[in-house]
Amino acid sequence: RMKTFKILRDYRRAAKTLADTASGVANLHNIILAG
């Protein structure tokens, strides 16, 4: 049970990082298009 919780916690952190990265890439892309 503890191992499963640790895996889920790590996955959630990775998912948040992925969302932040995708948001940053989209913002940079919009700036370049508007540039």
Tokens found for residue 9: 């916690």
d(CA 28, CA 15): 20
pTM tops 0.75, yes or no: no
Tokens found for residue 33: 């298009």
The structural domain count of the chain equals 1
Q: How far is CA 23 from CA 11, 20, 30, 34, in A?
A: 18, 5, 11, 16
How confident is the model over 3-33, as pLDDT tens digits? Answer: 776 766 766 667 778 888 889 899 999 999 9
Residue 7 is predicted with a pLDDT of 67
Which amino acid does the sequence have at 14? Answer: A
Question: Could you list the residue range(s) of the whole structural domain that residue 25 is in?
Answer: 1-34
Distance, C-alpha 9 to centroid of its chain: 14
